Amino acid sequence: MTSPSAALRVEAAGLEFQNPVILASGTAGYGRELAGVMDLDALGGLVTKAVSVEPRTGAPAPRVAEFSGGMINAVGLANPGVEAVQREHLPWLAANVRRARVLVNVVGTTVDDFIAVISALDGVPGVSAFELNVSCPNVRHGGMEFGADPSVLADLVGQARRAARRPLFVKLSPTLPDIAATARVAAEAGADGITVVNTLPGLLIDVERRRPILGFGTGGVSGPAILPVGVLATWKVSRAVKVPVMGVGGIASAEDIVQYVLAGATLVGVGTAALQDPRLPERLVRALGAWCAEHGVQTLKDVVGRLEWPA
């Protein structure tokens, strides 16, 4: 009988992961913030907070609010910039995270921004891969998201592929009119994996003040409410591309993870639930191992994409 830990090993984008549970970008900081709170090396990996060329102060407070369906946030991609991340944060990750994979989330307002971050970090020890956040506005194309224009997306991914020796994941927005077609463009341009989904745009209002609850006004919705959105996007994208998919959105239980895996995900990203309960991701790994044992699953990869669609 395969051990639970062995059953959870997966391969994606040429990398081996000890299990499929990844901390989604924006929920793990740069790793150090969670030291002593959770065992990062018990997980498959983590995606760092966004990294841009220059430091970003981010959106005004308040930045986060909860509601019955999850959370809404407008952090504004706040980060100290690539030089500080390279100097202060990645060395800590390399020294303290040995078994979990580290993916660096990359943001920018121009293609050159993305390439500059990748070029600066591609050879840094401990970095396993990059995740391109193509939901960022492209200032040279009227503020349209990089992922919304196929030719711009293909150019970005193509240039990033030439600049990087590490694997590239491309993170897509759930608001794209045809997320499967967009994923196909990214894969054909050189993406080694696709992450779906980013947050959904939303608005919460303080009815007493008659003002938005968040300082920025609108924000990104995450948590249980978007679980079906992420599962559907995973199913669509996994049928459209041959590269592995990381499914993200609303995961809070082993059964949620299995939904994503059946829909076609090789990796799964845990976000809002980990913010609410930082010890949950480790429990999810154990619970997923128990699910595999209970269902006679020798290796999780045998379950990936095995959704049986109604006749």
The set of catalytic residues is: 136
**Residue from 302, 253, 299 nearest 6 by CA:** 299
First to last CA, the chain: 34
CA-CA distance, 40 to 110, in Å (whole number)? Answer: 32
- Beta-strand pair 21-23/45-47: parallel
66 in helix, strand or coil?
A: strand
CA-CA distance, 140 to 109, in Å (whole number)? Answer: 8
| Cα angle 195-229-143, degrees, rounded to a multiple of 5 | 60
Order of strands, sheet of 219-222, starting from the edge strand that comes earlier in the sequence: 64-67, 70-73, 219-222, 200-202
Cβ density class 2-13: b for 16+ within 10 Å, e for less: eebeebbbbebb
CA-CA distance, 290 to 86, in Å (whole number)? Answer: 38
Distance of CA 35 to the CA centre of its chain: 20
CA-CA distance, 246 to 169, in Å (whole number)? Answer: 9
